[in-house]
């Protein structure tokens, strides 16, 4: 089954202590869509400007991503620039030029409205609502978010939580939302806000799922070298949703394995700038790391 993914489509200029790469393909929807594309059909909803490089459109297409929902507007593509410290955990934003993203109004093509799986990747909660308003009874809806929306659009986000099957956020966002340092206490509070499944991401420590059958401690694949972690969280949730959409049978049966696949795609994402490594990976390499994660966690 296909997964519809809405979020930001951007150009990322990324600086690390070792290199500087301008105008890479980036944005939450780009990372999530490429990650999901390994498992089945993906429909992308986003907006780009006239400066968006054609090669990036070709790249989406090579991954088999349906671009029927990608708007091309007069003006410039959303441009983000950031710099990482040597530990690759701390980063600071150098520049944010919203461009056409400021006017983004995600209108879904007819063919998109029946997609059974929906991933509302990181984007303003009002836009996430607007996408859901156009959907015809999707089977499974997941959303990601970021600290900014917890500060400036909390009411919208809280309303959104009631419409989700799964909510994915990172540990500092979970603390920000619930005021709880304890993971289990945070899960409890977030479930009360609506979602049946809550996933808290912990960066290189992996992620934790809380669902009807309890917790799952999802490992991160240990990497020798982190080149650029931008988009790792989006790759994780994209891979998870792509795997879930391709699997048959109940969500509960597949969600743990889906997270593990997401975790592996995120590991590839970190090994290159932007989407450079992820787009050179094949399914067999993903399977090999999933198998390795099984070995690394068995006792």
Contact set with its own copies (CB under 8 A): 86-88, 181-185, 202, 204-206, 208, 214-219, 222-226, 256-257, 259-260, 294-299
Least distance CB 7 / its own copies (angstroms): 26
| Minimum separation from the CB atom of position 44 to its own copies (A) | 28
Of 108 and 198, the one with the shorter C-beta distance to its own copies is 198
- Please state, in angstroms and rounded to a whole number, the distance separating the CA atoms of residues 51 and 200: 35
Q: Which residues contact 94 (CB under 8 A, 6 or more apart)?
A: 13, 15, 81, 82, 83
Exposed/middle/buried for residue 132 (C-beta within 10 Å: 0-12, 13-18, 19+)? middle
Q: Which is nearer to its own copies, 162 or 299 (CB)?
A: 299
| Distance of alpha carbon 290 from alpha carbon 285, whole angstroms | 9
- Alpha helices of 182-282 — where are they, by DSSP H? 183-192, 232-246, 251-270
d(CA 52, CA 46): 12
For the chain, count helices (H), then strands (E).
10, 13
Residue number, 109 or 179, with CB nearest to its own copies: 179
Q: How far is the CB of 108 from its own copies (least distance, A)?
A: 33
CA-CA distance, 100 to 49, in Å (whole number)?
6
Residue 297 CB, shortest distance to its own copies, in Å, is 5
């966690």: which residue's tokens?
297
Paired residues of 211 in beta bridges: 214
Residue closer to its own copies by CB (options 259, 265) is 259
In the complex, what is the shortest distance from the CB of residue 203 to its own copies, in angstroms, rounded to a whole number? 10
- Closer CB to its own copies, 74 or 249, in the complex: 249
**Min dist. Cβ of residue 217 to its own copies (A):** 5
Of 129 and 256, the one with the shorter C-beta distance to its own copies is 256
């Amino acid at each position: 089954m296909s997964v519809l993914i809405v979020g930001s489509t951007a150009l990322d200029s990324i600086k690390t202590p070792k290199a500087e790469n301008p105008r890479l393909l980036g944005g939450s929807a780009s990372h999530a869509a490429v990650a999901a594309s390994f498992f089945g059909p993906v429909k992308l909803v986003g907006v780009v400007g006239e400066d968006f490089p054609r090669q990036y459109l070709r790249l989406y297409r090579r991954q088999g991503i349906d671009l029927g929902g990608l708007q091309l507007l007069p003006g410039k593509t959303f441009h983000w620039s950031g710099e990482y410290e040597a530990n690759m955990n701390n980063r600071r934003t150098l520049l944010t030029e919203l461009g056409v993203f400021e006017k983004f109004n995600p209108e879904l093509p007819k063919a998109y409205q029946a997609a059974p799986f929906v991933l509302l990747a990181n984007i303003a909660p009002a836009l996430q609502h607007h996408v859901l308003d156009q959907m015809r009874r999707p089977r499974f809806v997941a959303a990601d978010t970021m600290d900014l929306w917890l500060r400036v659009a909390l009411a919208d986000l809280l309303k959104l939580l009631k419409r989700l099957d799964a909510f994915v956020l990172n540990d500092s966002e979970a603390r920000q939302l619930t005021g709880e340092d304890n993971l289990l206490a945070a899960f409890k509070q977030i479930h009360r806000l609506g979602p049946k499944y809550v996933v808290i991401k912990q960066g290189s420590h992996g992620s934790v799922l809380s669902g009807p059958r309890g917790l799952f401690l999802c490992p991160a694949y240990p990497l020798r070298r982190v080149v650029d972690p931008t988009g790792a969280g989006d790759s994780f949730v994209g891979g998870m949703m792509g795997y879930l959409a391709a699997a048959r049978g109940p969500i509960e049966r597949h969600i743990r394995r889906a997270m593990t696949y997401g975790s592996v795609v995120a590991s590839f994402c970190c090994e290159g700038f932007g989407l450079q490594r992820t787009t050179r990976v094949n399914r067999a390499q993903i399977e090999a790391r999933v198998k390795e994660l099984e070995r690394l966690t068995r006792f």
